[in-house]
Structure 1
Amino acid sequence: MRLPMSLDHALASLRNRVQGGDGPAAIRKRKAGPAKLLLVGYLSYVVVGWILLSLPFSQAQPVSALDNLFTAVSAVSTTGLISVDPGTNYTLIGELVILALIQFGGLGYMTMSSFAFLAVHANLSETQEETTRTAFGLPNSVDPRLFLRSVVLFTFGCEAVGAACLYGFLLEAGDPAPLWSAIFHAVSAFCTAGFSLYADGFVPYAGHVGINATLAALSLLGAMGFIIVVDTVRRLAGKTRHYGFTSKVILRMTAILVGLGTLLIFLVEPSIAGLNPADRLLAAFFQAMSASSTVGFNTIAIDQIANGTAMVLMVLMVIGASPAGTGGGVKTTSFAALVALVRSTLKGRANVRFFRQRVPDAQVQLATTSMACYSAFLAIGLFLLLLTEPAARFETLAFEAISALGTVGLSLGATGDLSPLGKLVIIGLMLIGRLGVLTFGFATATPDGEEGTASGDDELAV
């Protein structure tokens, strides 16, 4: 079976489903079961990781049970927020546990298990197929079997090449453990986890073009999603002449967001003003890329950035990465759909269009719902943090909450100082962010009964 990864096919498929009555109720019914399975799967990973990190052989020095739980959730959710430094508080075995949690969390709960299942069986079960679609946000036209094979092979291939490049650069730079550091950070970058074995992140390598470029390439490849990767391969192989609609949106939105973020940080961040223009541009690009891809690495001291830079990073973190990838956030395609909705409304158009392509009403509704749910979870999480951390500054907690829900991992320095209740709030936000706000809603919401017959339509003042 061919793998029509471009969303041109998916749009036609979804349009037919919508015309056939596959509306929000049907979508919710189809997604609820797989969503609950994903939730249970990620929680299982967390519990196993928590237990392993709590064992004496994983700890270089005593770490509390709550901090072990925090680290396990941060790794599984590929966030990268840390309450204790993993490079000094955990042994090599503990770091291996964290790396395994990042890998399984980044690829997704169903990816490795389904891939192993395919190694023995020819086909996936209906539940496995639907769960894979739910986990990656795949359109109905994509064959989950071929997608899973492509995902696993591409992931390990990119991580291997990235690790080899990092090893050479770190060896040249005099890193005391270049091989392990290269492997760990290559996986962390591709899975957009942001975990680092260095206490100061990559600040010491802010001017190293090779390390910055390798980490950026890995992070963007993971964040832009596997749909665009396979679409690119099909184009290079001559199976299609053009990128699909989704690929075009992802490429353009990523370029716009990272480019605009780079320009703004270059102009407003005073901590890099003393660098030469090339290094200043590199630092601005890396930080914009880090927030947009939700990888969470840093080459500048985040706890010392200006308010304007913090605002730029928060906007990029909310929008986040792209669907069918390893990053978090609202997603670039959902943001694009909302931008198209606003433009179409202001221009008085009956249909929502983006790049001259009509966006089906069902997708616009899902994008709107996603943003609404995201805003609600963020508001609730921030409110709870304000209650548990009365001495902290509002903007510091807002940055922390956005970073946790977007599974980014950047922090203004509040993570280590959070109270136990504050850490539990962040843990909840990280889990919701990894599962996805819509998937979490499908997993936890109680379905309504049959809709009654409306007595009539009436206007609502807005």
Structure 2
Amino acid sequence: MKSANRPPLRSALYLALSFAVTALIGGILLWLPWMHGEKLSFLDALFTSTSAVCVTGLTVVNTATTFTLPGKLVILALIQLGGLGIMTFSTLFFILMGRSVPVIESLSLKESFAPYHGVHLGSLILTIVIYTLGTELVLTLLLIPAFWSSNPGEGLFHALFHAVSAFCNAGFSDLPAGLTSYSRNLYLPTVIALAILAGNTGFPIVFEAVQRLRSRGIRKWSLHTRLTLTTHLILILMGGLLFLIFEKNRAFTGLSLPEKILNAFFLSVSARTAGFNLIDLSRFGEVSLYVLIFLMFVGACPGSTGGGVKTTTFGVLVASVWSRLRGYSRATVFRRTIPQDIVFKALTLVSLYAFTIFLAQFLLILSAPGHTFASSGTEFLARLFETVSALGTVGLSTGITPQLSPWSKVVLIFTMYAGRVGVLSLAVLLTGLSSRPKEFYYPKEEVLLG
């Protein structure tokens, strides 16, 4: 079984090291004196770099006022690297140089971005890169009118920065107040929301759409695409309606009905997993924060720039439960049976995510003052929110991030890292789990449930 373990182990090791080294290099660069105008500790520089390369968006300093133009360019480069994936860029380098792509990278990329077999790696990578750069260019042009000012160069940079940050679902803004001054603006939030959806819907769906346009005849969309888009749409509608119901007379007070609707659905889109907000989250009620935690936990679609357990994972588990309730022995959806190993993988992923949240939350509480429950207020919910936001690479915050202790920042750095690399990949790396099932079984014995 050792030979079966090597490919997933080597792939997980490459992925983990590439993100770790990039975050470290980025932290060193941001720590250089000419990269920032204010005093910046190395820990805060590393936190910012990790947040950028993991496309999270959590910040301990104000990006707009702390970093100079070279520093913001470094953050922008880290966002682009993290959004597309370092492995994608290294594979593109091999293709452009006319060299053969290592087998491990080839298999990992095909597994991440193609839900079916027989895909040519070169065509897959070029489609991803062209789609990304083309979309970001169009988004930049669309955002220029929103950021246009007396300084055309400054407006262009704002447009480019937000186009890349939104498409990569990073949540970084180079404006001092972020996007909170645009809660009454209908144009910019709409463009940003479309940019987020363009990035977090997933490259496999884009690639499948391109393949359908190229091929003759009409084929059914793959189960992956149908399940992804269905879950995606349901979550957006559900989140938007719940925010509209719970916050129409609280956080959305003073807004017109169209502005309330736009703010509600913008937040529903952004929570999975971009991290932009038009209204300070400290104004939201606890019920809405729990809805946000759920949306951040589920996250974006597979093979996208976003994080979370992914929409298909959630969809597979819902399909499994619903199938059991209807008497089916296997998970079925859209008149298709989902393989058992996919169901087990979804269960494993959700269990690991839940355990990681519990562990990170526990460590954050350890670093906090030992308040009694009666005097702690909403600190527990705030730290839980921060933990899920970091693991889901979302970047939304209730406002406690800048006040965190150095130990808490270290905990969130590792949490963001785990969220971007993937807890399943880290589990493979740390435990040597095999992607192939062991071909033997022990005798069966019943256990009681419930």
Which amino acid letter does the alignment assign opposite residue 179 of structure 1? L
- The separation in 2 between residues aligned to 1:440 and 1:251, in whole angstroms, is 28
- The separation in 1 between residues aligned to 2:4 and 2:170, in whole angstroms, is 30
Which amino acid letter does the alignment assign opposite residue 426 of structure 1? L
- The separation in 1 between residues aligned to 2:198 and 2:360, in whole angstroms, is 30
1:128 to 105, 108, 114: 105
2:253 counterpart residue number: 273
1:406 counterpart residue number: 392
2:333 counterpart residue number: 354
Asked if 2 retains the 8 angstrom alpha-carbon contact of 1:31 and 1:134, the reply is: no
Give secondary structure in 2 for the equivalent of 1:94: helix
1:104 to 73, 81, 91: 81
Give the drift of 1:130: 2.2
Which amino acid letter does the alignment assign opposite residue 287 of structure 2? G
Give the drift of 1:142: 3.3
Q: Which moved more, 1:192-201 or 1:309-318?
A: 192-201
- The separation in 1 between residues aligned to 2:150 and 2:333, in whole angstroms, is 46
2:172 is aligned with 1:195: yes
- The separation in 2 between residues aligned to 1:323 and 1:291, in whole angstroms, is 16
- The separation in 2 between residues aligned to 1:201 and 1:411, in whole angstroms, is 13
Q: Aligned pair count?
A: 438
Residues 53, 196 of structure 1: alpha-carbon distance in 2 compared, 3 angstrom cutoff: same
Give the drift of 1:94: 0.4
Cα-to-partner distance string for 1:34-67 (whole Å, 9 max, x where unaligned): 0110101001101110110011110111101110
- The separation in 2 between residues aligned to 1:154 and 1:237, in whole angstroms, is 15
2:425 is aligned with 1:439: yes
The 5-angstrom pairing of residues 26-175 of structure 1 reads: 29-121=6-98, 123-133=100-110, 136=113, 139-171=116-148
- The separation in 2 between residues aligned to 1:97 and 1:350, in whole angstroms, is 52
- The separation in 2 between residues aligned to 1:134 and 1:453, in whole angstroms, is 26
Asked if 2 retains the 8 angstrom alpha-carbon contact of 1:60 and 1:90, the reply is: yes
Asked if 2 retains the 8 angstrom alpha-carbon contact of 1:59 and 1:91, the reply is: yes
1:459 to 443, 446, 450: 446
Asked if 2 retains the 8 angstrom alpha-carbon contact of 1:266 and 1:284, the reply is: yes
Which amino acid letter does the alignment assign opposite residue 329 of structure 1? G
Which amino acid letter does the alignment assign opposite residue 417 of structure 1? Q
Give the drift of 1:170: 1.6
2:269 is aligned with 1:289: yes
- The separation in 2 between residues aligned to 1:25 and 1:290, in whole angstroms, is 42
Asked if 2 retains the 8 angstrom alpha-carbon contact of 1:38 and 1:135, the reply is: no
Q: Which moved more, 1:80-89 or 1:356-365?
A: 356-365
Give secondary structure in 2 for the equivalent of 1:250: helix
Which amino acid letter does the alignment assign opposite residue 298 of structure 1? N
- The separation in 2 between residues aligned to 1:143 and 1:238, in whole angstroms, is 15
Which amino acid letter does the alignment assign opposite residue 169 of structure 1? A
- The separation in 2 between residues aligned to 1:29 and 1:461, in whole angstroms, is 37
- The separation in 1 between residues aligned to 2:155 and 2:319, in whole angstroms, is 46
- The separation in 2 between residues aligned to 1:57 and 1:143, in whole angstroms, is 44
Asked if 1 retains the 8 angstrom alpha-carbon contact of 2:7 and 2:104, the reply is: no
1:257 counterpart residue number: 235
1:307 counterpart residue number: 286
Which amino acid letter does the alignment assign opposite residue 167 of structure 1? I
Asked if 1 retains the 8 angstrom alpha-carbon contact of 2:140 and 2:160, the reply is: yes
Give the drift of 1:243: 2.1
- The separation in 2 between residues aligned to 1:39 and 1:329, in whole angstroms, is 17
1:427 counterpart residue number: 413
Which amino acid letter does the alignment assign opposite residue 325 of structure 1? S
Which amino acid letter does the alignment assign opposite residue 123 of structure 2? L
Give the drift of 1:348: 2.1
Give the drift of 1:137: 7.5
Which amino acid letter does the alignment assign opposite residue 295 of structure 1? A
- The separation in 2 between residues aligned to 1:250 and 1:135, in whole angstroms, is 14
Q: Which moved more, 1:129-138 or 1:89-98?
A: 129-138
Q: Which moved more, 1:419-428 or 1:201-210?
A: 201-210
- The separation in 2 between residues aligned to 1:137 and 1:66, in whole angstroms, is 37
- The separation in 1 between residues aligned to 2:206 and 2:2, in whole angstroms, is 32
2:310 counterpart residue number: 331
Which amino acid letter does the alignment assign opposite residue 114 of structure 1? T
2:186 counterpart residue number: 209
Which amino acid letter does the alignment assign opposite residue 456 of structure 1? P
Give secondary structure in 2 for the equivalent of 1:271: coil
Cα-to-partner distance string for 1:76-112 (whole Å, 9 max, x where unaligned): 1000000001110110000000000000011101111
TM-score by length of 1: 0.90
Unaligned runs of 5+ in 1: 1-23
- The separation in 1 between residues aligned to 2:353 and 2:363, in whole angstroms, is 15
Which amino acid letter does the alignment assign opposite residue 247 of structure 1? T
2:201 to 210, 219, 224: 224
Give the drift of 1:210: 2.0
- The separation in 1 between residues aligned to 2:353 and 2:217, in whole angstroms, is 36
Give secondary structure in 2 for the equivalent of 1:187: helix
Which amino acid letter does the alignment assign opposite residue 86 of structure 1? T
Residues 146, 300 of structure 1: alpha-carbon distance in 2 compared, 3 angstrom cutoff: same
- The separation in 1 between residues aligned to 2:246 and 2:149, in whole angstroms, is 33
Residues 389, 271 of structure 1: alpha-carbon distance in 2 compared, 3 angstrom cutoff: same
Residues 212, 452 of structure 1: alpha-carbon distance in 2 compared, 3 angstrom cutoff: closer
Q: Which moved more, 1:280-289 or 1:117-126?
A: 117-126
Unaligned runs of 5+ in 2: none
Cα-to-partner distance string for 1:265-315 (whole Å, 9 max, x where unaligned): 0010111033111010000010010002x0000111112211111111111
Give secondary structure in 1 for the equivalent of 2:271: helix
